[in-house]
DNA sequence: TTTGAAAGAGCCTGTTA
DNA sequence: TAACAGGCTCTTTCAAA
């Protein structure tokens, strides 16, 4: 059940990835199908969770979160259960959590207002998950959230 | 010009981050303003590029890109000009490019169909940018693309 | 799975406060 | 800035092929 996407669905997904507010009328023109057919396909893609929702792309500086960082996590107690994502889920500064192969167990993508905010966040994370951390500060973001190849 | 966002604009941005297809009618109800006032504010947020666009959130497995990885880049020639993001921009497998502090200069977030796809991508990246790479494979993604704190 | 039609809901402009 | 009112577009459902 991986990567099985018809050409028309692919085109729809591509369009909605580039512009999530594209109207059904516009989509219909671009993929060469009637409005109601497109409508039905979009609904089906949403139900199948190929499309998991829609978001505004925000300028993190403009919304008061100019400092981005990657935080890598390593367990302190090797016997502790691996429920780190759940332990950290309530912390809103964490935008994403990846389980990774390598020296660390998880990588978090976080956004904070300032260096002090990062310091506080690291304390919160260590406390909540009992992990040691390694932080990589993002200096600038040439690009982000680009649409997939398809 | 950083983090200056009125409470109502904040609320609008929060709503559109959670659901980018929220209608103006719905937004108006939730932020307690008339439809046309909300409409005006959203347009202004778009013009100011606080809102930089809208996207469908896609299931990367379902669209045929089940393998995610972080690729860290270090220049090979220390005298070469630092134009790596531009050199890599044309590669569609690269979803994001971050300039970072630390042992490496950049971190890329990439998505590919398979391990072979990753191998080919690494070759392309090394060729295009003349960099050495360090790859961290993502095993699973507990969460991703969550709405910001605000 | 597609289409076309029809009703309702929502978008968006111009105007007024 | 915000509200209102209009004309118009888009969304959504239906019956039919």
Ranges under pLDDT 70 in chain A: 1-3
pLDDT digits (tens, 9 = 90+) for A8-24: 999 999 999 999 999 99
Given this model, what pLDDT does residue A38 score?
97
High-pLDDT (> 90) share of chain A, %: 95
Q: Which nucleotide is nearest to B39 (CA to C1')?
A: C12
What's the longest Cα–Cα distance across chain B?
58
Given this model, what pLDDT does residue A63 score?
96
| Three-state SS annotation for chain A | CCCCCCHHHHHHHHHHHHCCCCCHHHHHHHHCCCHHHHHHHHHHHHHCCCEEEEEEEECCCCCCCCEEEEEEEEECCCCCCCCHHHHHCCCCCEEEEEEECCCCCEEEEEEECCHHHHHHHHHHHHHHHCEEEEEEEEEEEEECCCCCCC
Please provide the average confidence, as pLDDT, over all residues in chain B. Answer: 96
Q: At B69, list the tokens.
A: 């990885």
A positions 41-100 inside 8 Å of B (CB): 48-66, 68, 70, 85-86, 89, 92-100
Question: How far apart are the C-alpha atoms of B86 and B108, rounded to whole Å?
Answer: 13
Q: Which residue, B106, B99, B102, B118, is CA-closest to B75?
A: B106
Give B3's pLDDT tier (boundaries 50, 70, 90): low
Protein-covered nucleotides of chain D (CB closer than 7 Å) are 1-5, 9-15
pLDDT at B1 over 80: no
| 3-state percent helix, strand, coil for chain B, nearest multiple of 5 | 35, 30, 35
Q: Average pLDDT, stretch B38-48?
A: 95
Contact A59 B50 (CB under 8 A): yes
Given this model, what pLDDT does residue B4 score?
73
């Amino acid at each position: 059940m991986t990567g099985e996407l018809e050409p028309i669905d692919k085109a729809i997904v591509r369009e909605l990835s580039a512009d999530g507010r594209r109207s059904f009328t516009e989509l219909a023109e671009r993929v060469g199908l009637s409005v109601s057919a497109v409508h039905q396909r979009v609904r089906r893609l949403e139900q199948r969770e190929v499309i998991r929702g829609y978001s505004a792309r925000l300028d993190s500086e403009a919304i008061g979160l100019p400092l981005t960082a990657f935080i890598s996590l390593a367990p302190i107690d090797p016997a502790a259960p691996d429920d780190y994502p759940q332990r950290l889920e309530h912390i809103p500064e964490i935008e994403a959590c990846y389980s990774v192969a390598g020296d660390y167990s998880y990588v978090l993508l976080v956004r904070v207002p300032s260096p002090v905010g990062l310091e506080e966040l690291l304390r919160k994370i260590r406390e909540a998950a009992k992990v040691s951390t390694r932080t990589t500060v993002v200096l600038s973001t040439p690009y982000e959230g680009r649409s997939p190849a398809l």
